[in-house]
A = this chain, B = another copy of it.
Amino acid sequence: MKAIIVEHKQPEQANGLTLTELPAPIPAEGELLVKVRAAAVNRTDIVTREGQSGYAVNPVLGVEIAGVVEQADGNSGFAPGDRVMGLVNGGGYAEYAVMPAERAMKIPDAYSFAEAAAVPEVFLTAYQTLYWIGRLQPHESVLIHAGASGVGTAAIQLAKTLSRAQVIVTAGSEEKLDFCRNLGADVGINYKTQSFEQEVLQATDGQGVDLILDFVGADYWDKNLASIKKEGRWVLIGILGGVQVEQVNLFALMSKCVQLTGTLLTPRSDAYKARLTADFVSEVFPRIERGEIKPIVDTVFPLEQAIEAQRHMEENRNIGKIILQVGKED
């Protein structure tokens, strides 16, 4: 089968991606073999390409797919021909991939494979960070950085639909902010022209937000601390703005009684991902099937153009998800 692996270049050059020919993976017990029709691009793939993740074991990139079941155990709940989407332990940028059956989700009939591939990682991450980690309560306020990103667009929809939360987003252009407002965001802040912590305090009567979904990290450290309510929760899920914070004042965390949780979804255990998927399906799927929540696809690239797809993400040009189409169109 065709598959995309990392092309290790000379030390002074950035690694690239290579389309290669590999044997199709063999499903272990409890796994489905899936003919991949679409895979989505995630920042974790870029980190892996750069050789920095430290946890990727599968040489083939890609952590989520949508496709058709090719082979399934009798007691898996799935049968050949079923359209499924879900997280995989690497191996998504390929014609075939294996997926633990307990984290496979049936694709809603109305969805194309590209739309389906845009669901798992960002919606599961948004659900996990807003609810499992962030414990968002009805009508609370949440600050979502990178509001037009894949996880951002998913989080806006979940926070509005499930919790009627006050949703405040940051993004770097008016186009992105308009998109977020159309998805339901109450307040859009252009981080290039506005001071977001001042806008957040103004939008929350000087209290700050109950919850922050932070994809930015170091650059926003002090501003996030200024934007969070006393006893607020702060979920650190990305480091677009740098990994190293200089001079962290611990008393500020203590006197505001802040809870800061670092998280990544990809390195979590199989059991965790299965529980998260099951909870997501039970809480959110009815709303997905009713069309109240929808995946946001930015661009579809053919599998062969995986490096161009990653560059599109690295340049922050996308609103929503970047998809790799595998094989012929839907």
Contact = CB atoms under 8 A, between A and B. Distances in A.
Interface of A: 54-55, 133, 217-218, 236-237, 239, 243-264, 267-268
Copies held by the complex? 2
Given A245-B247, A247-B246, A248-B244, A256 B260 contact: no
A259 B236 CA distance: 10
A200 B236 CA distance: 26
15 contacts: A54-B255, A236-B253, A239-B254, A243-B249, A245-B247, A248-B248, A252-B262, A254-B262, A255-B264, A257-B261, A258-B261, A258-B262, A259-B261, A260-B260, A260-B261
B55 A250 contact: no
Contact of A248 (B54, B133, B245, B267): B245
B257 A263 contact: yes
A237 B253 CA distance: 10
Of A251, A252, A255, A268, chain B has the most CB atoms within 10 Å of the CB of A251
A214 to B, nearest CB: 9
B249 A244 contact: yes
Contacts of A252: 262
A70 B5 CA distance: 78
B254 A263 contact: yes
Contacts of A256: 262
Contacts of A257: 261-264, 267-268
A219 B268 CA distance: 29
Contacts of A249: 243-244
Given A54-B255, A255-B55, A250 B267 contact: no
A217 B250 CA distance: 7
Contacts of A243: 249-251
A245 B218 CA distance: 13
Contacts of A237: 254
Contacts of A55: 255
B244 A244 contact: no
Contacts of A244: 247-250
A151 to B, nearest CB: 14
Contacts of A253: 236, 260, 262
Of A217, A243, A250, A257, chain B has the most CB atoms within 10 Å of the CB of A250
A237 B237 CA distance: 24
A150 to B, nearest CB: 17
A248 B251 CA distance: 15
A273 to B, nearest CB: 13
Contact of A259 (B248, B260, B267): B260
Contacts of A218: 250
